[in-house]
Amino acid sequence: MGRIQLKQVKKAFGDVVVIPPLDLEIVDGEFVVFVGPSGCGKSTLLRLIAGLEDTTSGVIEIDGEDATALPPAKRRLAMVFQSYALYPHMTVRKNIAFPLRMAKMDQAEQDRRIEAAAKALNLTDYLHRRPGQLSGGQRQRVAIGRAIVREPAAFLFDEPLSNLDAALRVGMRMEISELHKKLKTTMVYVTHDQVEAMTMADKIVVLQAGVIEQVGSPLDLYHTPRNKFVAGFIGSPR
């Protein structure tokens, strides 16, 4: 589970076409990175997949089912927001449990999921703390934990590390990559940072002005960039 297909998906805001019709297939279990300069449509594309924006036209399928008209809560996808979206007055446990409490899930099942997520994120000893008593990296892990407990078909990340300092960013990159190896769940990750894309992705989608310039592995893009834009953006010698 976790296959996402975009078929001729287009997005316009009023008269302004931000994403001309595009096709994209995200394979189950893949770590896909959308990369491109600021304003190229990365967030919009992710929000279309999440259901936070309506498509102007086209079809989005999740695990073979037409999800185009489904609200975000019914897509079985979890968007990971930046750590400042945590509730400061709630403990780590309550923050992580929040989506499960909203869904009125059975308490024993909630506890099982919270403990599994805490273990995967090395947060077991911090469940009773509040966000203000955690480091920036720990707070970001809590934000990820809140997504994990939903056991989604895919995780969607929109520049989750952009408000962390440089050293922490490197550590969190590795932690998210490690988590992907543990969970083997599809992850779609948006960044404008080439290094992040090259070090984390199985597959990179390079965007410019809403158009996919190239899709490929980091090595593909490095050795055989399709055009000057990709070569320049990825830092390839060609």
Q: Select from 28, 43, 111, 116 the one that contacts Mg ion (CB under 5 A).
A: 43
Residue with Cβ nearer Mg ion (43 or 208)? 43
In angstroms, what CA-CA distances link 30 with 16, 101, 168, 171? 32, 29, 24, 21
CB nearer ligand ADP, residue 39 or residue 232: 39
Q: Find the angle CA(57)-CA(68)-CA(154) to the nearest 5 degrees.
A: 125
Please tell me whether residue 236 binds ligand ADP under the rule CB under 6 A.
Answer: no
CB 138 within 8 A of CB 86: no
Over the window 44 to 73, marking each residue x when it contacts ligand ADP by CB under 6 A and - when it does not, the resulting string is: x-----------------------------
Please, are residues 64 and 3 in contact by the beta-carbon 8 Å criterion? yes
Q: Is 235 in the site for ligand ADP (CB under 6 A)?
A: no
Residue 129, amino acid? R
Applying CB under 6 A, does 39 fall inside the site for ligand ADP?
yes
- Judged by CB, which is closer to Mg ion: 16, or 102? 16
> What residues pair up with 205 in beta bridges, in sequence order?
34, 215
Q: Does 40 bind ligand ADP (CB under 6 A)?
A: yes
Burial class for 154, CB neighbours closer than 10 Å (0-12, 13-18, 19+): buried
- Out of 4, 6, 18, 33, the only residue in the binding site for ligand ADP (CB under 6 A) is 18
**Using CB under 6 A as the criterion, which residues of the chain lie in contact with ligand ADP when the complex forms?**
13, 18, 36, 38-44
